[in-house]
Amino acid sequence: MTSLNPPIQPAVLRPSLRFMLSHPAHLIALGLGSGLSRVAPGTVGTLWAWAAWWAIQAWLTPTAIAWVIAASLPIGWWACTVTARNMRVLDPGHIVWDEVVAFWIILWLLTPAGFLVQLVAFGLFRFFDAVKPGPVAWADELFHGFGWRGGFGILFDDLVAAFCTLLLFALWRSA
């Protein structure tokens, strides 16, 4: 007798290059490979975002960058949703598109900013994203699960971390 239910696949706790290349959503969500890092994939993904930012701003106007960011949000939502579902993990640390787009927003809103300001922004953003104080922890708990709600949740806490980073810069500049 055969079962009508397919066997349950185990969760993908550490994605491979093969997994990343098996679906376009995986490639995006894993930050074009930066999320494959065995150590601190969120930090590596943010570093990749920073390097990509230098390339993007050399080729695009601030308005065009805004359009890239605007397109990156729904595309990232889709990619994070699909990848988390296929990994069978609610909010996999290897999904880094949330760090990428959130850090691009920070850099775009701080432009023009020198290297030191960008470095401070990097440090603050990583602090808020990793430690998840106050509003970031609230955002992290708000949307959990699989499907579109969970995919949005993956992005949402990083957007709140970006907001907190920008808020500190606004407070510092107003003092």
For 99-153, write each residue's pLDDT tens digit: 999 999 999 999 998 999 999 999 999 999 999 999 999 998 888 777 788 899 9
Residue 6 domain-assigned (yes or no): no
**Has residue 165 been placed in a domain?**
yes
Structural domain contains residue 10:
no
In sequence order, the 6+-apart residues with CB closer than 8 A to the CB of 18 are: none
Total number of domains constituting the chain: 1
Instruction: Give a yes or no: residue 2 inside a domain.
Output: no
What would the pLDDT profile of 66-105 be if each residue is shown by its tens digit?
Answer: 999 999 999 999 999 999 999 999 889 999 999 999 999 9
**N-to-C CA span, the chain:** 74
pTM of the model: 0.91
Q: Is residue 3 part of a domain?
A: no
Closest by CA to 23, choosing from 79, 81, 74, is 79
Residue 83 has phi, psi (to 5 degrees) of: -70, -45
Residue type, 14: R
Host domain of residue 25? 17-174
3-state secondary structure of 40: coil
Domain assignment present for 142: yes
Distance of alpha carbon 148 from alpha carbon 28, whole angstroms: 16
Burial class (CB in 10 A: 0-12, 13-18, 19+), 80: buried
Residue 7 placed within a domain: no
- List Cβ neighbours of 12 (8 Å cut-off, separation of 6 or more): 19, 86, 87, 88, 89, 92
Does the residue 9 lie in any domain? no
